[in-house]
Chain A
C-alpha cells in the first residue's frame, strides 16, 4: 500500500541543525589532549613514539597489527610488524617495502615509548600492540579473538591501563560455536553435495578464514580442496610458516573446464556472482563468517548455507578480554562501538569512549576478489 514519507523524517528534521554543526566540527582540528594514542586523520597516532598504527593516510613510520586490507595500507615509508606477518605484508603491500619484523614480546624503544607485539589470535601473525610510557600502558588490539584456532598463534591477554578494542561483533546474539563443530558442519554439507553430484563452493576471506577452514578440516579428511587464485598464494605462505592444512589445488581461470561435482571449492566472497562462478554449475554456496549467526545476513547475500566461523571475538569474548586486561579506560575502534561503549559504562562502570577510525572489521565488502 501507499505510504506518505514517514514520521521519522520529522524527528530527524529536529536534528538537522545538530547535523550541520557536526559537519563543521568534523572538518576542524582536534582539541589538544595528553592521550598517548589519538585517532587523527591519518590513523592511530602516537606522537610520543613518533609512529602511527594501521594508518590510512601517508605517514613516516607505521606499526601494523595485521595484513588485512583495512589495517595494512601501503601509505608508510617504513613499517614495523610481527615477524610472522612480514611475508603476508610483503605479499600484500609489495616485496620491496621497508619492513622490520619483531619477535613476540620483544621490546623496542621508539621515542619516549617502549613498544612490543603480542599475538591477537585473529589471523597468522596478527598482533596486539603494547605501548608503554613511564608507568602508563596502552594496548591496541587491531582485530582479535580469544577462541582457539589451529591456523594462528593463540591470543595473549596483555594487562594494561587503556585498552583500545575492536567491537565488530559487540552484540549479545553473537556467540560462537567452537571451530571444530562448525568444520564438521562444513564437512557434512560437502559430503551431502557429493551425494547429490553438486560442487560445494565455500566463500571465506582469502587471508585467514580460508586457511582456518583448511586447517580445521584436517580433523575429518585429507582430500584436496580446490581454491580460487586469490586464496592459493596466501595459503602457500601459511604452509611455509608451518600451518598444517588440507592439500590445495589452484583453479586455473584459463585452463580447460573441469567437473567439480562433489568437490569443495574455496573462494573469496567477492567471487560470488562473478563470471568465475560459471564453471560450477548447480553449485551449492556457503559463506563462513560471524555474520552468518544472523539469518538475515545470509539471506540477503543469497548464500544457501551460512557457517558461523569468525576471526573476531564474540560478545562474551570481548567482555571477558576487556575485564581480563584490568584496564580502567576502554576505547573502541570499529564495529558495534556505540553498543559496547554504553554497556561498559552503564553496566561495568568503566571509562569507555569511541574512537573514529577507518577500520571496517568483518564487513563483507572489505575484500574484493583478486583476479
Chain B
C-alpha cells in the first residue's frame, strides 16, 4: 500500500505525461503481480462495485467528526471530493507508515466488507480513518469510493505497461478492455506473450472521429476549403452521424457480447439486438450504433435520444419498455469476419463485406420471419454525392432526419485505434444558439471545487428572467477566473451552495436539441447546453426571450411527441 500511495503521490504531483509513464513503469518493475493487478484495475478507472455507498460514508463522517451535519455537508461541497474531505477532517496528523500491501488491503480488508453487517462496516472504516495518516486515509477512501482520477488515461497506462512488458500498445489495450478480475493470473497474462486465446469476448478499441474543424488549415464553412483539404468525394465513404449509443457487437464461440464505448457490457439492456446476433456467423464483430426506432421499422423513424436513455437507465428491461422503445443496431463496419481481424483491410473492402453479410442475414430471415434479425441488424446507409456542395446540401437535412450531421471515412483507411486525425471526420451541423443572462452560480466539483464554474442561465419572460439551462463548459481559464472573481463580489443571495448574482453578464449558449418539457418551469428542456462565448457586447436587456426560444422547438423535429 505504501508503494501504491507513493505512486499516486508522484502521479498527482506532476503534469508531465512522460514523468507519469516513468513513475508507473518504476512501480510495475517492482510490484508483485497481485499488487500490480489491482494497481492496473484502479488506474484504468475501474472501481469496486457495491462496496459501501457514499451516503453511508457521509453519515459516518458526520458522526465521527464531532462537527454539525450541515458543516460536514458544506465542507464536502467546497472540497468536492468525499475521500479527500474525510482525510482532511479525520486523518491523523504527522506521518505514520501504512502496513500491508495493496492486494492485502483490497482482498483481505476492503472486499470482505461487502458481506459484513453495517455495524462492522462502520467500525472498521471509521477506525481506519482515525488510525491512518492523511496519505493512507485518502487512498483507502479512494479505493472504496471509486475511480482514482489521477490524470492517467487508459492510453497512458497502456503505454507504461507496454513499455514495461515490451509489447505493442494495442495488445495491452485489447487485453485491458472488458470485464476482468484483478488477479495475479490476469496481470501475468496482461504482460505475458500474446497467445490470442483470452480474447473471446473482447471488443476492439473503437476508432473515433475527429471534428472536421480540427483538420489542418481547414475552414469548414467554406466548401472550397473542404474540397481542397479532403480531395475528391469519391475518396470518402459518407454516412449520417447518428445520435445513439456507439457499440460493438461481438459474436464468437456461439455467444454474443454487446459492448458500449465505455467498455461496458450492455447486452442485457438490448435483448432484441443480442437475440438477432445469434444469426450471425461465428467470429463476427460489428461496429455500429444502437438507436431507438419507431415501429414499424420502415419508413425510418428514429426516436429521441431521451427514449433510448430509458433503456440504458436500468439493469433489466421489462416487456412494456421493450414494446415502447424498440431498438436496433445500425452497423457501420465489419471488424472481424469468420474470426479474422479485418482492421488492416481498407474501409471500402470491410464495408462491402459488411453489406454482403447483412444481405445474407436478410435472405436467411426471409424463410424465418419469426426471428426477423434483419429488423434489428441493419446497414447504416451510405450517402452518394459527386461534390462537396451536394453533400453540404444533404447535410442541411440533418435535423429533419434526426441525425447530427455527416461522418466522413477515408475509403482506403484501415480501422484506427482511438481518435486519429485524417481517417474519420465528423461534420456536425451547427448547434442552436441563444443569448442568455447568468443568474446563478455554483462551485464546481473535483478539479473545480472552490471555483464558480457551474452557471444557470435565463431568458426573459415579460420582465422576469426564467432559467432555461445550466452549463459548465465553454469558457477558457482566464474567463473562468474573471467570472469567479466577479461572482464573489456580486452575490445577491445564497441558497446553500448556489448563489444568485446580479443579472449583468450575457452569454451565447449552444445546444443540440430542444424539447417541450412539463418538468421544467420554463416549459422547455435543452440538450447538451454549453457556453459558446461571453457576449461582452450585450446588455441583459438584449438577451433572448422565452418566446423566441420556444420558436426553436418548431425547428427541432427530434422532440417528445
Residues of A in contact with B (beta carbons under 8 Å apart): 1-10, 12-20, 22-23, 26, 171-173, 175, 284, 291, 293-297, 299-300, 302, 304-305, 334, 336, 338-339, 342-343, 346-347, 356, 358, 360, 363-365
Contacts and interface: CB of A to CB of B under 8 A. Distances in A.
B71 A8 contact: no
Main secondary structure of the interface of B (DSSP, over half): mixed
A17 B467 CA distance: 12
Given A12-B467, A20-B464, A296 B494 contact: no
B318 interface: no
Contacts of B89: 172-173
A2 B448 contact: no
Interface in B1-60: 12-15
Given A12-B498, A16-B466, A22-B493, A347 B447 contact: no
B450 A297 contact: yes
Contact of B469 (A9, A17, A19, A173): A9
B502 interface: yes
Q: Which among A1, A2, A6, A7 has the highest number of chain B CB atoms within 10 Å?
A: A2
Contacts of A173: 75, 78-79, 85, 88-89
A6 B84 contact: no
18 contacts: A2-B527, A12-B467, A12-B498, A13-B522, A14-B521, A15-B493, A19-B465, A23-B502, A23-B503, A26-B492, A173-B79, A175-B88, A294-B88, A296-B80, A296-B84, A296-B449, A297-B450, A360-B488
A363 B485 contact: yes
B485 A9 contact: no
B305 A339 contact: no
Nearest to A295: B84
B148 to A, nearest CB: 12
Nearest to A26: B492
Contacts of A342: 70-71
Question: Interface residue tally of chain B, by bracket?
Answer: 35 or more
Given A16-B466, A19-B492, A305-B13, A5 B520 contact: yes
Contacts of B192: none
Interface in B137-157: 151
B189 to A, nearest CB: 32
A18 B494 CA distance: 11
Given A12-B456, A365-B482, A2 B470 contact: no
Given A172-B89, A173-B88, A295-B12, 14 more contacts: A1-B309, A10-B519, A12-B456, A12-B467, A14-B521, A22-B493, A23-B503, A26-B492, A26-B502, A172-B71, A296-B84, A296-B445, A296-B446, A338-B494
A294 B450 contact: yes
B549 to A, nearest CB: 12
Nearest to A22: B492
B389 interface: no
B538 to A, nearest CB: 18
B150 to A, nearest CB: 9
B170 to A, nearest CB: 26
B503 to A, nearest CB: 7
B494 A13 contact: no
Interface in B312-351: 312
Interface string B463-491: 01111111000000000011011001101
Contact of A4 (B68, B439, B517): B517
B309 A6 contact: no
Interface of B: 12-15, 65, 67-68, 70-71, 74-75, 78-81, 84-85, 88-89, 93, 151, 305-306, 309, 312, 439-440, 445-451, 456, 458, 464-470, 481-482, 484-485, 488-489, 491-495, 498, 500, 502-503, 515, 517, 519-522, 525-529
A171 B467 contact: no
Contacts of A16: 439, 458, 464-467, 521
A266 to B, nearest CB: 19
Q: Which among A2, A7, A9, A26 has the highest number of chain B CB atoms within 10 Å?
A: A9
A4 B470 CA distance: 10
Contact of B68 (A297, A338, A346): A346
Give the top 7 A-B pairs by smallest Cβ distance, nearest first.
A13-B521, A173-B88, A296-B449, A300-B447, A22-B492, A365-B485, A4-B525
A366 B217 CA distance: 39
Nearest to A306: B13
Q: Which among B70, B78, B89 has the highest number of chain A CB atoms within 10 Å?
A: B78
A347 B78 contact: no
Contacts of B492: 19, 22-23, 26
A302 B469 contact: no
A296 B466 contact: no
Contacts of B464: 16-17, 20
